[in-house]
Amino acid sequence: MKNIDEKYYPYLIALVGAFFFLPFLGRVHLFDWDEINFAESAREMMVTGDYFRVRVGFLPFWEKPPFFFWLQAASMKLFGVNEFAARFPNAVFGIITLVTLYIIGKREKGTDFGLMWALLFFGSMLPHLYFKSGIIDPVFNYFIFTAIYFLMKAMTSAEHKLRNSSISGALIGFAIITKGPVGFLLLLLTFIVILTVDKFRHWPRIKDIVVFALTTFLVSFMWYGAEVIANGPWFLVEFIKYQIDLFSNPVAGHEQPVYYHFVVVFLGCFPMSVLALGSFNKKNISNNQLAKWMMVLFWVVMVLFTIVTTKIVHYSSMAYLPLSYLAAQYITQLGAEKRKMPKPIVWVYLGIGLIFGTLLTSLPLVVYFINDIKPYINDPFAVAGLMKPVIWSGYEFAIGLTFLGAVVYSAVLLFKSKTVKGLTIMGIGTGVTLLLYSMFIVPKIEQHTQGSLVDFLESVQGEDVYVTTSGFHSYAPFFYFKQPNDNLEKRANNQWLIKGEIDKPVYIISKITDTHLPKLTDLELLKEEGGYRFYKRMPILE
């Protein structure tokens, strides 16, 4: 990079992001629940022509506002209703995020810092992986992060206060219509904690608050206001009630230990989580406004979602962005002070890296040697899925060895104080490993887990039938059967489909562990495959 003019750096970063994030997005089916759920909401917007009411199964869906589904629907207009289109918005935001981190880092702390910040975020496991997914959080997190950055500039910079306030308000407005009021809550809590830490010495001006509030209102009005005007408040009332329930109760069985998100972030954000450990002291944030805001934002996210009863992996993903800043700060500080990275941190880095590398290497081998391993797996459904015939070459484990090699080589370089080179090797190793995994391994794993279900649903597309599941919940019948917008009450009545006086054929799908359906005499078992049973029920002819 030193031989290239700095003005080209953003374009090179975007090119790297495109190379690693865009390929193979459509190579594997969408995963239950969230990926299929969100893509189906976008598809149903296109079918109904109603882009303001979020639906699943053509019935109201209370959980999310529509902005992300608008992006997916626009993508589907370009690329068709498929997996690539559903994941394309996140890949684009992944590229934008890397460029944004570089630009902010360069503006605040210099070019080298900006490059390191973008590199660490790109080269960490979960942050990188999320940009290849079809979930909402990468877009949602981008809006919150940039809104908080411009709020910081509005409060700490002597110039462009009104402009920064308006940009911050607009961005948090987009966050609100992407995933709901929690976007504003994160910004508000960060703002309150910052005021408290500064002993209430730096209040924003009244006109900045007014401008911020006005732009937030105008952007969020695009959905909240338009929905109330068009259809009354009932949909928003149900939406808010669901958000409260999500906060206070373990929805959908997502109840985890209190330390859940700390484990997820520390392990899932390797290697930047380990590198950030050196920034968690008062010295590193006392005279640095951006470091202070990033530290506060990190703890606000972690504490808030530790309190929230419903715990899902990506709920704490907003912490990835401030954590990546803290890691970049520590690395550049070591370089500026010409200090070696402490050996305990390098050993932790090496240990976690070896664990990840071992898992990535072992996963293909588990499937390859399933006949030897299955006596130790106490789950008939999992065993049946793993026994499904899928072509494995036997050499897929070499991808994990590539990651192990990158971990060991980078750790050796860190021990030798060649920090930048070591982290560059690790970043490239992570990117290459996840790219190869998405090409050669993830599609095969998906065939073992849900491939039989999705393949069957695609095979019956267009038939004038009902499709339902029994004993487990799945959004796959909506998206992969391409459920039509008719007979909604009948389609939603699972017991009527299984036992009622139906008016046309029904396909019923269960897991092989289900004991209820085999007792029903009017079901025809079509096949058993991949851990699923596929039944057909015919109407009684009068």
Distance CA 368, CA 362 (A): 10
Residue with tokens 């899902």: 312
Distance CA 184, CA 487 (A): 38
Answer yes or no: is pLDDT of 344 > 80: yes
Q: Give per-residue pLDDT as tens, 218-268.
A: 998 888 887 777 777 766 676 677 666 666 665 555 557 778 888 888 999
Given this model, what pLDDT does residue 311 score? 67
Identify the weakest region by mean pLDDT among 108-112, 236-240, 272-276, 483-487: 236-240
Of the two residues 122 and 369, the one the predictor is more confident about is 122
Distance CA 77, CA 43 (A): 10
- Look over the chain and give the mean of its residue pLDDT values, rounded to a whole number: 88
Using an 8 Å Cβ cutoff, are 246 and 103 in contact? no
Counting residues of the chain whose pLDDT is more than 70, the rounded percentage is: 94
What confidence category does residue 44 fall into, taking pLDDT thresholds of 50, 70 and 90? very high
Contacts of 489 (CB under 8 A, 6+ apart): none
Q: What mean pLDDT comes out for the span 183-195?
A: 91
Rg, the chain, Cα only = 25
Give the residue ranges of DSSP H helices in 198-288.
206-220, 224-231, 234-248, 260-268, 272-275
Q: Give per-residue pLDDT as tens, 362-380.
A: 988 888 888 778 888 888 8
Q: Give per-residue pLDDT as tens, 68-79.
A: 999 999 999 999
Distance CA 224, CA 388 (A): 47
The closest alpha carbon to 331, from 84, 173, 488, 118, belongs to: 118
Using an 8 Å Cβ cutoff, are 294 and 326 in contact? yes
Q: Give per-residue pLDDT as tens, 497-516.
A: 888 888 889 999 999 998 88
Given this model, what pLDDT does residue 371 score? 79
Given this model, what pLDDT does residue 401 score? 94
The closest alpha carbon to 114, from 324, 379, 351, 415, belongs to: 324
